[in-house]
Amino acid sequence: MKIEIDTHSHTLASGHAYNTIREMAQAASEKGLKALAITEHAPKMPGSSHLYYFQNLKVVPRRMYGIDLLLGSELNILNEKGEVDLPQDVLSTLDLTIASMHMPCYEGSRDKERVTEAYLTVMENPYVDIIGHPDDGRFPVDFEALAKQAKRTGTLLEVNNASLNPTGFRKNTKQNCLEMLRICKKCGVMVVLGSDSHVDADIARYPYVEEVLRETDFPEELIANTSFDKFQRILKRNLNGASKGEKKL
């Protein structure tokens, strides 16, 4: 299975990653990708970029080393209301966004009902394109409800390679991801594969993702980023014409 765009990566601007935009783009090009999404952590993440960084992304070229760059953010889901840490007028200017739960940033209750409520609500946001690493057992979720809402709203659910790394800090990620994939397969829900690379060497590396895809015999047609054209067509903001970035790259 060939992946043409890695939809989740970070640069020095996120505060705990190790390469520049140009270095990440060059690595993606050398690995044969057609595109790379750079999704810096939003401002509530300790050490990450200020609001001004995201407001100024218009100055960054959208093509380097022969590949397209999609510049966006990994937003922090803050509470059960589905609030995130960038305003709507900024979200509308980005090429895509991922909404994720992170321990330093989530201020709501972490029981299953409230976490599920937070995910379901944030997916109503027309500028939230992807739910990042929903496999983290520290934030228990009703995967059946998550998948149904993802399908209804056109939001993609992420299978995150870094999250699945057995040396990682998240809990029960493989078991949770297998459950999510089985439900997505049953319900015909699209997923997206993200490396969550914080260093150039990890771009488009999916060994742990490939393992769970094999175990669930997950169909390739339900994977959004096997084709860059396909990914652009089904990205929520493009489907809905939600932003001025609805034009194709």
Q: How far is CA 192 from CA 36, 136, 146, 205, in A?
A: 13, 16, 15, 14
Q: Give the pLDDT confidence score for residue 245 in this predicted structure.
A: 39
Architecture, CATH, for domain 75-246 = Alpha-Beta Barrel (3.20)
At residue 79, does pLDDT exceed 50?
Answer: yes
The token duo for 68 is 């397209």
The dihedral region occupied by 209, where left means phi > 0, alpha psi between -120 and 50, and beta the remainder, is alpha
At residue 10, does pLDDT exceed 60?
Answer: yes
Distance of CA 140 to the CA centre of its chain: 18
pLDDT tens track for 21-52: 999 999 999 999 999 999 999 999 999 999 99
Give the pairing of strands 130-131 and 97-100.
parallel
Element (H, E) at 121: helix 112-122
Residues 6+ apart with CB under 8 A from 221: none
Q: What is the DSSP string of 173-240?
A: HHHHHHHHHHHHHHHT--EEEE--BSSGGGTT--HHHHHHHHHHT--GGGBGGGSHHHHHHH-HHHHH
Q: Give the pLDDT confidence score for residue 240 in this predicted structure.
A: 66
Q: Give the pLDDT confidence score for residue 239 in this predicted structure.
A: 77
Q: By three-state DSSP, how is residue 70 classified? A: strand
Stated pTM of the model: 0.94
Nearest alpha-carbon partner for 86 in 146, 131, 140, 42: 42
pLDDT tens track for 214-244: 999 999 999 999 999 999 999 999 876 554 3
Residue ranges covered by each domain of the chain: 75-246
Does residue 237 contact residue 156 with C-beta atoms inside 8 Å?
no
Cβ–Cβ contacts within 10 Å for residue 36, how many? 29
Nearest alpha-carbon partner for 132 in 68, 75, 58, 183: 75
